[in-house]
């Protein structure tokens, strides 16, 4: 096919991304089919309309990106817009400057991709992951004033943060005096994991409870020794049973 036979207008109209051209005075110059579907404004009605009426969103009144985009800056933003039925939708906007043949800046071209579903799916996955992580290390009330957290599997910084938050909240709300952190279920201990454990224990101490690390088996103990990790000032015990016995003996002493 000869090059001159390509119908650019058809390409513009049928492209599966919502595209519109907006003049520097914020008037819609062109809009394709997908744009009509996304905004709910038919193609013929859209032309001549103010852009913020055809497809209004949170940035229209506060931080309209038109000036930036006309200056040639590539704007890529995620922005909330009003969808066809008035509901909030999340779109990703890409802009390119619209320039006439003799180089005059006419306005901008905006391309929108609806990422509402994508975002919702992502949020669902995130919250599921968080629940899973929390359930993997529940804070258990093992005795009066004694909380226990069994840590299973892999301990990374994100998980440490979660455990720390839920453990500290529990300690403060229940006025627990002792928190036993049982590490016998941890898959692997390296210096990063040891550091996470120590940070958790220190945070427990700051809110006013006594941290006890239990479940330090021979493997973990050797790793700790080999890495010359300093456990000074932290109460450690080999089994959860020892830890619990110690915690209860402390309370009888009161």
Residues that bind other proteins (CB under 8 A): 161, 164-165, 168-169, 171-172, 175, 177, 199, 202-203, 205-209, 233
- What is the smallest separation between the CB atom of 254 and other proteins, expressed in angstroms? 8
Helix (H) or strand (E) holding 125: helix 116-136
Q: DSSP readout, 21-60?
A: EEETTSBEEEE-HHHHHHH---HHHHTTSBHHHHS-BTTT
Of residues 40 and 233, the one with the C-beta less far from other proteins? 233
Which position has the token pair 């909330």?
A: 80
Of residues 122 and 161, the one with the C-beta less far from other proteins? 161
CA dist list (Å): 46 to 27, 43, 100, 250: 9, 5, 21, 76
- What is the smallest separation between the CB atom of 175 and other proteins, expressed in angstroms? 6
Of residues 204 and 240, the one with the C-beta less far from other proteins? 204
Of residues 186 and 203, the one with the C-beta less far from other proteins? 203
- What is the smallest separation between the CB atom of 47 and other proteins, expressed in angstroms? 52
- What is the smallest separation between the CB atom of 208 and other proteins, expressed in angstroms? 4
Helix (H) or strand (E) holding 170: helix 157-174
Cβ(13)–Cβ(32) under 8 Å?
A: yes
Contacts of 26 (CB under 8 A, 6+ apart): 50, 51, 52, 64, 66
- What is the smallest separation between the CB atom of 194 and other proteins, expressed in angstroms? 15
Of residues 161 and 191, the one with the C-beta less far from other proteins? 161
């Amino acid at each position: 096919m000869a090059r001159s036979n390509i119908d650019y207008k058809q390409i513009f109209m049928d492209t599966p991304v919502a595209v519109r051209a907006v003049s520097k005075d914020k008037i819609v110059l062109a809009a394709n089919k997908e744009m009509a579907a996304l905004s709910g404004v038919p193609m013929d009605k859209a032309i001549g309309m103010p852009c913020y009426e055809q497809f209004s969103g949170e940035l229209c009144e506060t931080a309209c990106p038109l000036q930036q985009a006309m200056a040639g800056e590539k704007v890529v933003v995620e922005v909330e817009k009003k969808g066809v039925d008035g509901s909030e939708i999340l779109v990703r906007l890409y802009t390119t400057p619209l320039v006439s043949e003799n180089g005059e800046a006419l306005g901008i071209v905006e391309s929108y991709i609806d990422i509402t579903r994508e975002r919702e799916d992502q949020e669902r996955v995130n919250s599921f992951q968080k629940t899973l992580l929390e359930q993997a290390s529940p804070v258990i009330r093992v005795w009066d004033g004694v909380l226990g957290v069994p840590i299973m599997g892999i301990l990374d910084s994100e998980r440490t943060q979660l455990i720390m938050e839920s453990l500290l909240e529990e300690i403060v709300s229940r006025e627990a005096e002792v928190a036993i952190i049982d590490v016998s279920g941890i898959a692997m201990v390296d210096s990063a994991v040891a550091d996470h454990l120590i940070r958790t224990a220190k945070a427990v101490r700051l809110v006013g409870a006594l941290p006890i690390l239990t479940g330090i088996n021979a493997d973990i103990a050797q790793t700790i020794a080999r890495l010359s990790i300093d456990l000074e000032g932290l109460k450690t015990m080999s089994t959860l049973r020892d830890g619990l016995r110690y915690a209860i003996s402390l309370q009888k002493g009161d």
